[in-house]
Structure 1
């Protein structure tokens, strides 16, 4: 994958474009990922964004292929979904030339999931100039809480 610079008018690398489409990233937001890419974890885990704003972000993830040996949704997969939502939401709030980087993540697992999709819902608790804090709940297809947590991001100059 060879993402283009943020301000480039050149077309995106076809594989990069497919990854963005497969992950549900709205086309009007692709420029935010063109400089540094989407990463490899999101496509591998099947994370799909339904909504993406600084204040409210929603994504789904299949339980299948993200399980621990006992067949339950892996706690690390839930944590990865939580961190992805919090980081993406925080980066929606950053001005040009800055990036949000995770500084704290906490998660509590309250129920297991064995099949279907889980949905992460991320709500901003604080959006500031130097820090963003989001609460993220992960629920199953019946709306039952699987995991809950909080993500703190610091806003720093992009290198």
Structure 2
């Protein structure tokens, strides 16, 4: 049996990153490094933009990273013309991340259905320790126009 591709649209790391300019993802330095058959991979620096008052990565920034990747993945795993909206996000923060470091993230599907999708993002410190695991649930809606219908699409 042949495996069908997860991706239904022509997104590449470059096309997704171009979309990040002028958005919260761009402001935080989130960069997709790979679009694979298993999901998305990304990286983000941890600097003054990302820390909470105690000098470590702010948990909300980890959630922004997770929701960004899950949303992009949801759109690109949906039929052409579908609109995708996040309906729930949660996160477990497992380890601190120091200012001046970098995190990497892997976003993988747990469920890709006709009307809902669930994406899990794991965020890792530079030493390989998992710092956060987060899930995004998205609703897949019929298109009504707007920018979300072609997020990450080449061209």
TM-score, normalisation: structure 2 = 0.76
Alignment length, in residue pairs? 131
TM-score, normalised to structure 1, is: 0.74
Report the Cα distance in structure 1 between the residues aligned to 2:89 and 2:17, rounded to whole angstroms.
Answer: 26
Aligned pair in 2 of structure 1 residues 30, 141: CA closer, same or farther (>3 Å)?
closer
1:109 aligns with 2:100: no
- Does structure 1 residue 25 correspond to structure 2 residue 13? yes
Closer, same or farther: CA 55–130 of 1 in aligned 2, 3 Å: farther
**Aligned CA distance change for structure 1 residues 53 and 87 (closer, same or farther; 3 Å):** farther
> Superposition RMSD on alpha carbons, in Å?
2.2
Distance in 1 between residues matched to 2:21 and 2:137, nearest whole Å:
20
Q: 1:147 to 1:30 in 2, by over 3 A?
A: closer
Q: Structure 1: give runs of 5+ residues left out of the alignment.
A: 1-23
Q: 1:52 aligns with which of 17, 35, 41?
A: 35
The question of 1:148 aligning with 2:136 is answered no
1:69 Cα deviation from its structure 2 partner: 1.4
Question: In the alignment, is the contact (CA less than 8 A) between 1:54 and 1:90 conserved in 2?
Answer: no
Which runs of 5 or more residues in structure 2 are unaligned? 1-11, 145-155
What secondary structure is seen at the aligned counterpart in 2 of 1:26?
A: helix
Q: Does 1:134 align with 2:119?
A: yes
Moved over 2 A (4+): 24-27, 52-55
Q: Does 1:84 align with 2:62?
A: no
1:54: how far off? 7.2
Match of 1:41 in 2: 24
More relative contact order in 1 or in 2 (CA 8 Å, sep 6+)? Answer: 2
Q: For the Cα contact (< 8 Å) 1:51–1:58, is it kept in 2?
A: yes
1:72 and 1:101 mapped to 2: Cα distance? 30
